[in-house]
A and B are shown apart, each in its own frame.
Chain A
Amino acid sequence: MEDVHERELVERCRSGDERAFQELVDRHKDLVFALIARTVQDRSRAEDLAQEVFLRVHRGLPYFRGEARLSTWIYRIVANVCLQDHGRTAKTAPLDEERSADALAAADRQFTDLEVRDRLEKAIARLPANYRLLVAAHYLRGVQYEELAEALQLPLGTVKTQLYRAKQQLRRLLETDLR
């Protein structure tokens, strides 16, 4: 039922129905904005990039073949926009690859207050762009591994491995660099 409505909506958008495109924006804006805001961590920049995503969706709809779900296709555009934006902005700080057993042991002390949340955001900001996007997307409601893999055009196993590595790096950052 949902798929049928989605196909109808896409068809209406393709025929130039502005209200249909407005409905499409309304339906996907929260997820797109949240995903980008979590990735770039700057609200005004996030809004600009989210609008850019919908501009690309508008331009690309005539070429959307409907082989993937609309949301998956939109995630792919989000990923491209975020990664391109990352290429334009400053490079991420290098990460300490060494594992510290003592630091790992002290982990549970670190998740109790707002300061920790702030550190979490800072740590996420220091992840490589593709890891940041994965972490942002995976913990948004309803975004499954399979959908992420399809959107990023990566094998399912690679998505899982990259997400685990992202979380390992996050723990290291929280326990060492950002202490």
Chain B
Amino acid sequence: MFCDEALDAIEAIAADELTPDGRVAAHLASCPNCAAALVSARSLEQMLRRRAVPAAPSQFTSRTMARVRRARWRNDQFLDAGFNVAIGLVVFTVVAGVWLLLNRSGLVAVSNDAVDLMGSGLVTVVRRVTPSLPLYAGATAVLATALGIWWWAERDAAL
């Protein structure tokens, strides 16, 4: 029996995972180096078993959940942005398709007349509304203030 052979089994013996057979036991009894190695391995085994188990911080779960929510929010934002880009592309494609169709079918001239008509109608509306603009602005401000007060009161009630 050589020391190397015994030393290979030392860790398993120290961990009580291997019972030394007659040859190994005899060698361990007669070889001081291997016997010392076994003592050392047993000591290490005990130290490792007694090693402190670090406990998770008390706020660990809440902090982890906050991080998970943040990650999910970022993911949702990314998905939203992708969805908006896709919708934009679809709208662009539809508009471009309609324009192409009108252009090819000769209906552009008709649609130009429609745009002119809408433009002149818009100018008429603006001219009529302009004198009453301060009144509309005042009414909008009063409404916004009322809504603001209502929102503030609701928020405080929720807290």
Contacts and interface: CB of A to CB of B under 8 A. Distances in A.
A101 interface: yes
Interface string A157-174: 000100110011011001
Nearest to A44: B57
Contact of B36 (A30, A51, A108, A111): A108
A58 to B, nearest CB: 5
Interface in B52-81: 53-57, 60-61, 63-65, 67-68, 71-72
Given A105-B32, A168-B11, A111 B41 contact: no
B33 interface: yes
B55 A34 contact: yes
A164 B11 contact: yes
Q: Would you call the interface of chain B mostly helix, strand, loop, or mixed?
A: helix
Interface in A99-146: 99, 101, 104-108, 110-111, 116-117, 120, 135, 139-141
Contacts of B14: 167
Interface in B5-49: 7, 11-12, 14, 17, 32-33, 36-37, 39-41, 43-49
A43 interface: yes
Contacts of A26: 61
A76 interface: no
B33 A171 contact: no
Contacts of B67: 51, 54-55
Contacts of A30: 53, 55-56
Interface string A22-39: 100110011011100110
Contact of B65 (A25, A46, A99, A167): A25
What is the size category of the interface that chain A forms with chain B? 35 or more
Contact of A111 (B47, B54, B64): B47
B37 A104 contact: yes
Contacts of A141: 53
B127 interface: no
A33 B55 contact: yes
Contacts of B128: none
Contacts of B51: 38, 117, 120, 139
What is the size category of the interface that chain B forms with chain A? 20 to 34
Q: Would you call the interface of chain A mostly helix, strand, loop, or mixed?
A: helix
Contacts of B37: 104-105, 107, 171
A116 B47 CA distance: 9
Contacts of A163: 11
Nearest to A145: B17
Contact of A171 (B32, B44, B54, B57): B44
Given A30-B55, A104-B33, A51 B63 contact: yes
A107 B49 contact: no
Contacts of A150: none
A73 B36 CA distance: 40
21 contacts: A21-B68, A33-B54, A34-B54, A37-B54, A43-B54, A43-B57, A46-B54, A47-B57, A51-B64, A54-B67, A101-B33, A107-B41, A108-B36, A110-B40, A110-B43, A111-B46, A111-B47, A135-B48, A139-B49, A171-B37, A171-B44
Listed from nearest, the 9 A-B pairs whose CB atoms lie closest are A107-B40, A33-B56, A37-B54, A105-B36, A111-B43, A164-B11, A108-B39, A29-B56, A104-B37
